[in-house]
Chain A
Amino acid sequence: MIEPAALKLKLKEQIIQYLNLKDLKPEDIKDDDLLFGGDLELDSIDSLEIVVLLEREYGLKINNANEGRKILIDVNRMAEYIIANKTDL
């Protein structure tokens, strides 16, 4: 079982990789930084990239926009969702 802190660090690395955020390091993203509408300036295409990230890296599929809005808030919520839904972490 991966520790939440380690999972959050991994998530930040994956977000940077998938969204090609070359100017950022994992430590630049706080656990509660808003992914959308905050300083990261992510947009709707980025949200699709993060959905792809969750599916490819964790086998978790977000099936509708309402579900996505509850998960893709910040790294904390994403990590909680992964821990709650992925059994083989």
Chain B
Amino acid sequence: MYIKDLSCISPQQTYSQAFLQGRIEHFKTNHYLAAEPSYEELIPSSKLRRMGKVMRMGIGTGLPLLNKYPETKGIILATSEGGVEDSMNFLNQVVKYQEGALTPTNFVQSTPNAIAGLLALMTKNTGYNVTHVNKGLAFESALTDASLFLEEEPGARLLLGGLDQFSVYNYNIELLAGAYKKHFVDSSQLLGSGSPGTVCGEGSAMFIVDSQKKGALAQIKGVGQGSGLSLAELMERLRALLTSSNLVPEDIDAVVLGYNGDSETDTWYDKVRQELFPHQAVYSFKNLVGEYSTVSAFALWFATQLLSGFMPPKEAVLKASGEKPKRILIYNHHRAVQHGYMLLTV
């Protein structure tokens, strides 16, 4: 599967060229909010005024790609939470108004597949339209779905994406559960914070993928996932992913790892580095965009940029390499329970 084009909205200035040109946003809070562009030229104001944030980010990243590639045969998205703020507003209204007068807008946007549905409606795309919602592996599942689709229809082109929004409701609940740091940490210090918990982020990354090598930015050689793996099982899975492409760990030039500053779970990344990739370049990304369930979509966007010659900011370089990478392994876990990995080459 080949990546032909891509678009990203994140807490960094990724929608414009600013991030790729070296502009880095720093955060002093525990939630990194997306730098949304002005959507006015892209989305009619009559539609824009109704959209929640995740819908805006999804349309903002997906619609330009669908407009540019009108022959796209399907839309496969991943979102763990979807329009969670609309869902919460709707549910609160159910309680407040005793199931009486409920506004339709919150309801319409409360379902996770509303984003893919609206993209299809806006572009009259009647093809395959699926949204994967399985938490920290939603994007890996969407990627697998896209891969299977392209095996069946090698000539097809798909829009693939992963997106989630910051939710105050979820943040407060997950904070109590220990998912986030209890004290604000400057994003430049996040990975060395040495304390439990991480920071919350949000964003949307979308890709046009197909089976044709010509004009590709990168090739996704493989994707895998597993839940509740032991460390030994994870290593076995990663080796198997490489073996399926006739590669060994030494063939990998760089690894993009999901370090998020949580002292209790970053050890998984340390072990992967130590055991499989002790000499390779290592890059982080969650200290740029925070943690969210579909953040591996951002990791894929980031890795694709690395393959295209992007010089990453020093904040993302844990171990440098003087050469442009040709093969990158992305490994990310969601709370040390859900593990996803992707192999990317030029």
Contact = CB atoms under 8 A, between A and B. Distances in A.
Interface residues of B, number: 12
A19 B46 CA distance: 10
B100 A45 contact: no
A80 interface: no
Q: Name B's interface SS.
A: loop
Interface of B: 45-46, 49-50, 97, 100-105, 108
Given A45-B105, A45-B108, A19 B49 contact: yes
Interface string A1-34: 0000000000000000011111100000000000
B49 A20 contact: yes
Given A49-B105, A55-B100, A43 B46 contact: yes
A55 B49 contact: no
A67 interface: no
Interface of A: 18-23, 41, 43, 45, 48-49, 51-52, 55-56
Nearest to A51: B101
Contacts of A22: 49
Nearest to A18: B103
B49 A21 contact: yes
B92 to A, nearest CB: 13
Nearest to B51: A20
A37 B253 CA distance: 60
Instruction: Identify the interface centre among A20, A23, A52: most chain B CB within 10 Å of its CB.
Output: A52
17 contacts: A20-B49, A21-B49, A23-B45, A43-B46, A45-B50, A45-B104, A45-B105, A48-B103, A48-B104, A49-B105, A51-B101, A52-B102, A52-B103, A52-B104, A55-B100, A55-B101, A56-B101
B97 A56 contact: yes
